[in-house]
Chains A and B, each alone.
Chain A
Amino acid sequence: MLSLIIKKEIHDNLLNLRFVATCVVSIILIISSIIVLTDNYEDELRDYRSRVTTQDNFIDQFGHFNRAGWMAVPLQEPSRFQPLVLGIDREAAQENFVSNPVPVLFSRLDFLTIVTIIMSLIAILFAYNSISGEREGGLLKQMLSTGVSRSTILLGKFIGGNISLLIPFTIGIVSGLLYFTVSSTVQLHSMDYGVFPLLLLASYIYIAAFYGLGILFSTRSHSSNMAVLKSLFAWTILVLVLPNISPFLAAQIYRIPSWTKIQQEVFRITSEERDEIIRKQERELLQTKFPDLAATIAGMNRNEIQAKAQSDAAFKQRFAEYAKDYDELVRDVNTRQHEQAGKIRAAFDEASKYQEKLATFFASISPFSNLIFIATDLTESGIEADNRWESQSSSFSRTLWTYMEARYNTEKGRNPAFGYNDYLDMRDRPHFQYQPQAIGERIGLVLPQVGLLVLFNLLFFAGAFVSFLRYDVR
């Protein structure tokens, strides 16, 4: 009996205008968005590779210790899954004066937007009159009079409706994925292929949740007009309101200090204050430990000091001692100042991450947000991937710093007059290589959100079940 009801539901939907609309939306929209975004991705990847080469060539030609960190900035490769899920849009972050402002006003249409907004709305439109419509048509009492249980009817409608909704969606997404995977520029790792079925499964659960929501309101209404209004009301709250207010609510409940003020303070501690301390300690060092050298080198420029070091062995030795102490002084001051700045940054990072977690908690009340988190975490285009990139790029910066210090000290050993602004050959330096998160870890990360989506399904279906048990079919 259940299979009969499922077949009936699929048959009714196939002959409906909304099925045609779903086919059009799913197949045309998904495929076209993937094609256009794949082209965008190819351009961005090409530009990224060119920037890496440009930066590397620049360091090979002009590398020096003093500004090496400013030169060797870790560059972020565009996400391989960008044609599917844009996630955190770098352009919308507006990190430069020359950034394009349009993405702040209008984001790009990706697969995730199509599923979260359009497919959820279509699910509502498929489901809102599944019970109330049959009641209005008189079919419901006929079905019940044949002895079919209410639970069988409800389950049959839920399964049949979801199947008819998901068939065109699956055709659209599979076609789009085929284009995406065979594109020559998109180079997926072996574990990336595991992302596709997971993304598809999460999308199915999400769409089924909204189908369940539609059925719930259908069982709570005696006319289809009322059912659609209630369903759209709920859809608006869950998709357009709750997720969008969550970061603002979190920002107002848990305030964090001004990011710019923190940056200014960090800059002041690690440059102006640091330079002031170094100058003061350098004067003290010269006065207390190297008074003879202070008198000699006063008023001499670098070339003159170098020439004297080459001609006077005693001066060279004395200057080498001073240079060693000076470098140690600079290192100590840098370390202390960076530690101080690090504490300020760490406190700010902790506060901002807490605010983010709070916003995520508020947003998780909506299935919409949960799918966003699942999709962005699976495709490494979300907050977790951003944290991971920041952590790896900071770690690389430290590794690079260690390498540069070692290179500098080697050169200094050969030539005591070697300075921070002298050319430093860094052609054998380490290069930044981002390590993506293993698929198992990403699955572990999204499990709570998947659980929440399944919970939404169960809640809506249970609500529909309870309502339908008492539903007046006359």
Chain B
Amino acid sequence: MLGTLIKKEILENLTTYRFFILTGLLFVLIIVSIIVSYGDYRLRMENYNLLRPEPNSPNVIIPPSSLSIFAKGLDANMGRLYEISHLGIGVHRSQQSVNRLFSLFTVPDMLFIIKVMLALIAILFSFDAITSEKENGTLKLLFASGSQRTALLFGKLLGRFALVCIPFLLLFLAIVIVVSLLPDVQPDSYYWQRIGVILLASAIYTFVFSSIGLFVSSLVHRSTNSMMIGLAVWVLFVFIVPQMGTTGAKALIDVPPSERVEMQGRLAAIKAIYERIQRERTSGEGREGRRMVQEIKEANSQIFESYRPRLNKRIDVTKTIVRCSPSGALMFLVTDVTNTGLHEELRLKNAMTLHLNRNFNRIVGLEKGSIEPLQYRRESLSEVVYKSIFIDALILVLFSFVFIGLAMVTFLKYDPR
């Protein structure tokens, strides 16, 4: 019976105008997104090749991740040139920040398509799963034919889910294969494993929104109302909750702005240099340099050590609030899988700080010897799964259980007349 119901749902909707429009929209968006994202990736790769430091330079730049074509995340920021010196770690603005329109608009990468459009399409496919049958009078016929409510609900859910997910997965796989053949993309086994995880996460995410659509459809008796509520939930989860997360965390956790931290570091360095010069006038040349660099180093460490834990706390609170939305959980999951997320960014900054500490005496000339280059490796998939994406995957699964459960409860009491 379940198989028949799933087949019915798929066949009924496969030749509709809705299916063609929405699948067409998805196709156009994916193509445009990949063209734009790949072009952006090539520009970042060119920038990286241009700025690679000389041997024995303490400066660091890491190549862009090829998976950032699918989820750009923080990759543009991580791929900047970091200038390591006795003054600390300086960072140039990213190439993108030169064109200020980038800061007014969002990156239209694959993650954006999945997070925003796939969720919308899932809602638009499932919002009338129950209500349209009721409005057409076929719902009571289905019950009269002996279909059980649970089977009917799951048949509709799986059928509508398949209608959205299968075309998307096929399109995405085709695109991934095309991208893997492009220059500057090196698809190894890790690449395909991560793509697999993204596909799985997208499928679960689509399932969540299909469940939401079905739940809303089993809550009301008219398709127009169901669509209103479905879209309202989509707006809430995709736009409002994630953005409120940033605002809310800022209000809850007090962290000094980064401009203040930068100013403190800058003024501490100037003070140390100035005082060194004054001391050398009385004590003689050359002896005060070591003391100066130590003072700068200690000042920067103190500033950083008081600031960083508070910033980390704010980031944690932001993540907690944003994870109240499946869209937020997906964002963290996919950016962590592609090594372009908050976790990787923090890892890189910690690696830079260790690199500075290890080479400090050689950078400032207090020790002879060449500067150890930073051998930075992005985190492996197993490490990322264990440390961060497991929670986000669990949240997505939990959301789907919650909304399926709610749909079941409401549908069991649904009046088909």
Contact = CB atoms under 8 A, between A and B. Distances in A.
Contact of A104 (B22, B25, B74, B248): B74
A259 B232 contact: no
Contacts of A43: 254
Interface in A124-148: 125, 129
A168 to B, nearest CB: 14
A255 B21 CA distance: 35
Contacts of A37: 247
Interface string B224-244: 110111011001000110111
A263 B256 CA distance: 28
Contacts of B287: none
Contacts of A421: 274, 277
A109 B240 contact: yes
B104 A113 contact: no
A307 to B, nearest CB: 12
Contacts of A425: none
B314 interface: yes
A244 interface: yes
Interface string B332-368: 0001000001100100010010000000000000000
A379 interface: no
Nearest to A64: B274
B17 interface: yes
Nearest to A112: B104
A363 B100 CA distance: 13
A260 to B, nearest CB: 4
A344 to B, nearest CB: 14
Contacts of A17: 225, 228-229
Given A106-B242, A421-B274, A421-B277, A247 B102 contact: yes
A107 B263 contact: no
Interface stretch (B76-84, B165-173, B203-211): B76-84
Nearest to A376: B104
Interface string A69-80: 011010100000
Interface in A375-391: 376, 382-383, 386
Given A109-B247, A256-B98, A58 B259 contact: no
A64 B275 CA distance: 11
A249 B38 CA distance: 11
Given A29-B240, A260-B51, A260-B81, A236 B117 contact: yes
B281 A302 contact: yes
B267 A245 contact: no
A431 B104 CA distance: 31
Contact of A360 (B29, B39, B101): B101
B262 A96 contact: yes
Contact of B105 (A73, A246, A259): A246
A106 B243 contact: yes
B304 interface: yes
A308 interface: no
Nearest to A117: B239
Given A51-B263, A104-B77, A359-B101, A97 B349 contact: yes
Interface of B: 17-18, 21-22, 25, 29, 32, 36-37, 39-40, 43, 46-47, 50-51, 73-74, 77, 80-82, 88-108, 112, 116-117, 120, 124, 128, 223-225, 227-229, 231-232, 235, 239-240, 242-251, 254-263, 266-267, 270-271, 273-274, 277, 281-282, 284-285, 304, 307-308, 311, 314-315, 318, 322, 328, 331, 335, 341-342, 345, 349, 352
Q: Would you list the 10 A-B pairs with minimal beta carbon distance, nearest first?
A: A109-B243, A247-B101, A244-B108, A248-B36, A252-B39, A99-B258, A260-B92, A359-B101, A96-B262, A97-B89
22 contacts: A21-B232, A51-B263, A55-B267, A93-B103, A97-B352, A98-B261, A101-B315, A102-B318, A105-B335, A106-B246, A106-B322, A108-B247, A118-B240, A121-B231, A225-B18, A241-B32, A241-B108, A258-B51, A260-B47, A355-B98, A359-B99, A369-B105
Given A71-B267, A100-B315, A250-B99, 7 more contacts: A40-B251, A54-B267, A67-B274, A73-B263, A89-B103, A356-B101, A360-B101
